[in-house]
Chains A and B, each alone.
Chain A
Amino acid sequence: MRRLIVIALVLGLATLAAGLIATRPSFVHGTELAGLTGDAGAGEAVFWAAGCASCHAAEGATDAARLVLAGGQRFASDFGTFVAPNISTDPVHGIGDWTLAQFVTALQNGISPEGRHYYPAFPYTAYRLAERQDLADLWAFWQTLPASDTPSLPHEVGFPFSIRRAVGAWNLLNLSDEFVVAGDLTEQQARGRYLSEALAHCAECHTPRDALGGLDRSAWMTGAPNPSGSGTIPALTPDRLRWSEADIAAYLNDGFTPDFDSAGGHMVSVIRNMAMLPEADRLAIAAYLKALPSDE
């Protein structure tokens, strides 16, 4: 009996240790990024495509106010309410004193400069797939943005979700280095996939989640309950979204459906971002949506 307990203990400790090693924060080092020079102009396009302002600007911000990344917006989930932090260039309240390596580590590994795990309400699971050059450009654009001294507010997340370390285990299940839509894609579809999966994180809203809050990759873009209340976020697979590619691209620009209803909910903010991109990018996203596997 005693021996059994000892074996169980040893096994338990070993599993724990393996878990801790596997979930240990991993940093991107400056040397990996040494060859990159950021271009602020190109970074602006990355900024809009990636939708940073939709979460980090003040609720309902429009026009120039969308460049003030003071935080404060609240995101309800099954695990509690997350509050977007200040990520402006303020060195005290924002991320003004960060390095490019710290920025990339946050965006692609979900790890803070102190080694804490971020919650996946911050879509680093998507940004993980972004090109490093794009992130260097984004960081160059960042340097042109205003500072805000609004303090960040704490999340309202209860135990056990308040244990950030647990996110490390979640990451083992949900952090992927592969695009979801695979197979032969045209150049345009591949561009659309990059924009949609790596930057604009369309799936964060349009894909259902499993019990742990991870995206169900087998039901990609097949629609999902609306996390912030009632209603359903529509499916975008070609069997359900029957709009033409031109209609999809136009909606992403002017916000009107083919029946000239006007988009609502969180899609309004997404469209504000998409409208800042070149038309070719909106058409590429439309082409990608038409290449999605259908949901039977």
Chain B
Amino acid sequence: MTNRIRVLAAATFAIIGVGATATIAQDLPAPVQARQGQFQIMALNVGILGGMARGNAEYDATAAQTAADNLVAISMLDQSFHWPEGTDNMALDGTRALPAIWENLPDVVEKWGAFGAAAEGLAAVAGTGLEPMQAALGPLGATCGSCHDAYRAPQ
């Protein structure tokens, strides 16, 4: 399963130029807005789980399962249209995507795949109890961090 996603993603993290020139943040190209929205949805769902894991909200098995399933669903979204060349933070204001992404596409794809695998691991246990969910959330967070470490500039 994960392997298939990886192959698919590798085939489709394609490079399509949009001929973007320096643009101001308000009118970011649609692909940049779309990927940022995608990450916002991820953060929202991680937040449902993280709130419970940190003890800020009571554990709710149904909500936890739904959030984890959403993360799996996002991890399966084909990424090919979100990352056109020329949409790095040197070319555009309003994105934090580093040019290194386009120099290391296979590694980026692997990191996205690692996120998908961790999301599946989380979805397998999220509805079964607070402790297993907490234990699976740590590895998921590590996959976010390792991609942001390498490919996202600070604000």
- 0/1 string, B127-155, CB within 8 A of A gives 1: 00000000001100110111111101111
**Other than the known A230-B153, A264-B145, what 12 A-B pairs have Cβ atoms closer than 8 Å?**
A230-B90, A230-B98, A231-B155, A232-B154, A233-B154, A234-B154, A254-B50, A255-B145, A256-B47, A260-B43, A261-B43, A264-B152
Given contacts A231-B89, A254-B141, A264 and B50 within 8 Å (CB-CB): no
Residue among B96, B145, B146 with max Cβ neighbours from chain A (10 Å): B145
Q: Which residues of B contact A226 (CB under 8 A)?
A: 153-154
Contact B47 A265 (CB under 8 A): no
Q: Which residues of B contact A269 (CB under 8 A)?
A: 149
Within 8 A of A (CB), among B59-113: 89-90, 96, 98
Q: Which residues of A contact B54 (CB under 8 A)?
A: 250, 254
Given contacts A231-B155, A260-B43, A265-B154, A254 and B149 within 8 Å (CB-CB): no
**A202 contacts partner chain B, Cβ-Cβ < 8 Å:** no
Contact B141 A262 (CB under 8 A): yes
Contact A256 B148 (CB under 8 A): no
Enumerate 12 A-B pairs (CB-CB under 8 Å) in ascending A order.
Answer: A60-B146, A229-B153, A231-B153, A232-B155, A250-B54, A254-B137, A255-B145, A260-B43, A260-B50, A262-B144, A264-B145, A264-B147
Residue of A nearest to B144 (CB): A262
Q: Which residues of B contact A261 (CB under 8 A)?
A: 39, 43
Within 8 A of B (CB), among A223-252: 226, 229-234, 250
Contact B50 A265 (CB under 8 A): no
- Size category of the A interface is 20 to 34
How distant is the Cα of A60 from the Cα of B54 in the complex, in angstroms?
27
Contact B149 A264 (CB under 8 A): yes
**A130 contacts partner chain B, Cβ-Cβ < 8 Å:** no
**B11 contacts partner chain A, Cβ-Cβ < 8 Å:** no
Given contacts A230-B89, A234-B155, A268 and B46 within 8 Å (CB-CB): no
Chain A contacts to B: CB under 8 angstroms:
60, 62, 226, 229-234, 250, 254-256, 259-269, 271
Question: How far in angstroms is the closest Cβ of chain B from A204?
Answer: 15
Q: Is the interface of A mostly helix, strand, loop or mixed?
A: loop
- Kindly count the residue-residue contacts between A and B in the assembled complex, taking CB atoms under 8 Å apart: 74
On chain B, the number of residues with a Cβ less than 8 Å from chain A's Cβ atoms is: 27
**B44 contacts partner chain A, Cβ-Cβ < 8 Å:** yes
Question: How far in angstroms is the closest Cβ of chain B from A160?
Answer: 31
Contact A231 B141 (CB under 8 A): no
How distant is the Cα of A17 from the Cα of B154 in the complex, in angstroms?
45
Within 8 A of A (CB), among B28-70: 39, 43-44, 46-47, 50, 53-54
How distant is the Cα of A80 from the Cα of B136 in the complex, in angstroms?
42
Q: Which one of B39, B53, B141 contacts A255 once the chains associate, using CB atoms below 8 Å?
A: B141
Residue of A nearest to B45 (CB): A260
Contact A264 B154 (CB under 8 A): yes
Contact A260 B154 (CB under 8 A): no
Q: Which residues of A contact B142 (CB under 8 A)?
A: 62, 255
Residue of B nearest to A253 (CB): B54
Question: How far in angstroms is the closest Cβ of chain A from B26?
Answer: 20
Q: Which residues of B contact A231 (CB under 8 A)?
A: 89, 96, 153-155
Residue of A nearest to B153 (CB): A231
Q: Which residues of B contact A255 (CB under 8 A)?
A: 141-142, 144-145
How distant is the Cα of A114 from the Cα of B11 in the complex, in angstroms?
55
The 4 A-B pairs of least Cβ separation, nearest first, read: A264-B148, A262-B144, A231-B153, A260-B47
Contact B145 A263 (CB under 8 A): yes
Residue of B nearest to A225 (CB): B154
Question: How far in angstroms is the closest Cβ of chain B from A111?
Answer: 33
